Amino acid sequence: MEILRRGEQGSMHRARQITPPPAAPGTVRSFADEFLAAAARHPDKIAVTDESGSLTWAEFAGLAARVARRLAEQGIGPGGFVGTLAENSARHLAVYCGTLIAGACIAPLPTSANPATLRQMRDNCGARLLFASPAFAETAAGLGAQVVPLAELDGWTAGAEPLDPVPVGGEDLFDLIYSSGTTGAPKGIEHDHLFRSRQFDRLLRWDMGPEAVTLVSTPLYSNTTLVAVLPTLVSGGSIVTMARFDCARFLELSQQHRVSHAMLVPVQYRRLMEHPGFDSYDLTSYRAKLSTSAPLSADLIARVQARWPGNLVAFYGMTEGGVSCVLDCDADPGKWDTAGRPAPGCDVRVIDDSGAELPPGVPGEVVARNGSMMAGYHLAPEKTAEVVWRSPEGLDFIRTGDIGRIDPDGYVRLSDRKKDMILTGGFNVYASDLEAVLMQHPEVSDAAVIAVPSADWGETPLALVVPRGGARASAEALRDWANARLGKVQRISAVEFRDSLPRSDIGKVLKRELRAPYWPAAGEADRAQPERTGG
């Protein structure tokens, strides 16, 4: 069948909703071309390893190119979308790469979402083919697409001739990453080839060359994961995948495969540091450990730096793009309490609630602009408009929803998410400040602070705490201990113990779930409006 051209399936090539800095002529890198060139350079080298075994670069790239041929035969190319619903695996990655060789857009759907939300995502992108692992085959069958079992991928591609890369432009869509849907209807975040190309260039500086071995333990549907996976693939490195994170298995794989790089989220670093066998593993092969999705505390950075070879690099960014700050922990030991400095080409500013720009040092909402900015939310221009701040010069910036300021050295210091800020008695209280104090208590393993209704103050802070094993402090004693270290307007009204805190697959605490029992549905929406419009 003829490959569908741009615009026939979902208007893949169209005017951007958000305008990034222009690309210099010839600077947009082709993932498919570089991926296949890497395979040609070292065909016998291991490309991907999962729990079922390993594929050489020749095997892996060949499988991806045959996937591309089968997609083309079904009329899926530029303008088309391919969905996946699966854990990390070599074959999941082959579908991802094969879709890009075919010139189509890949939409990895979050396995953590419920079936109704997944159906919304599938309907939004219109993917006709959905590749699913056995664990999600039944769910995939109800999403309105033709399902191709990943377990049968070798048979599905048997006899197909490898497809040469279909040419694409910088504004053609590369992937569609969906928000979790925990704060309303999921939004499809459009990344085009210009977005990803510029991201490759930034990440490759951390030694992600052909000798890199990157251990992947966060899901492929997360931009956190792709930030490390895609540069490794275009440079011809090797990927080791985990279907689900486990501390002991992560350490075993690191030692076994002489892993050089890993992208982890802060909660994973904390769990690894607390693992009793951590120091018994040989981790000397590591060159860089990467972190994103949430701030790393200075205390946690210190523990990782002291016990884990290789540099630790923390990124402050968003799936939507715009903001890109880097904290090089080796180079910036005195700035571990910051989100780092803006990366080259990133313009970070701070605005007040009216949208007026604030001077350095004054806290407000962080907005930013760089070369990697989403094209927009898929088929949702009104949602896109809500996250755009236009500067006095007429430039598009993306609103982060984070409260922060820029210090005299140019480092970004974050206070909290706007939507997590607690308005109590007319004062703004940042939940992250309270959580940082609670985490200093030796009997606290995890903590989250949320706003709950108060007849006296409108809102008041409630601490939800996971105690360490053998903890003896009562809730009242812990509250009093924290309040003795907090300001008068910051004081916690109560502490409640939990066995665990709900987290997303990339480790973010799901505060909407924590707040839900305390706020009627309408009340939660009402309290979120006045102060929390930028997230």
| C-alpha–C-alpha distance, residues 288 and 532, integer Å | 36
Would you call 271 helix, strand, or coil by DSSP? helix
- Name the DSSP class of 166: P
Q: 316 phi and psi, to 5 degrees?
A: -110, 110
| C-alpha–C-alpha distance, residues 173 and 17, integer Å | 13
| 147 CB-near residues (< 8 Å, 6+ apart) | 130, 131, 132, 137, 140, 141
Q: What is the pLDDT of residue 521?
A: 54
**Running along the chain, 535 residues long, what does each successive block of 10 average in pLDDT?**
34 69 83 97 98 97 98 97 98 98 97 91 97 97 97 98 96 91 73 92 84 96 95 96 97 98 93 96 98 90 98 96 97 96 96 96 96 95 96 97 95 89 85 93 95 91 94 94 92 96 90 90 36 24
- Quick count: other Cβ atoms within 10 Å of Cβ 529? 8
Of the candidates 278, 313, 275, 318, the one whose C-alpha atom is nearest the C-alpha of residue 296 is: 313
CA dist 85 to 8, 403, 436, Å? Answer: 24, 34, 36
Q: What are the structure tokens assigned to 312, written together?
A: 């630790």
Of the candidates 391, 407, 414, the one whose C-alpha atom is nearest the C-alpha of residue 318 is: 414
Q: What is the pLDDT of residue 13?
A: 44
List domains and CATH numbers for the chain.
1-17+32-44+53-196 (3.40.50.12780), 318-410 (2.30.38.10), 419-528 (3.30.300.30)
Q: What is the pLDDT of residue 269?
A: 95
User: Which pTM was predicted?
Assistant: 0.87
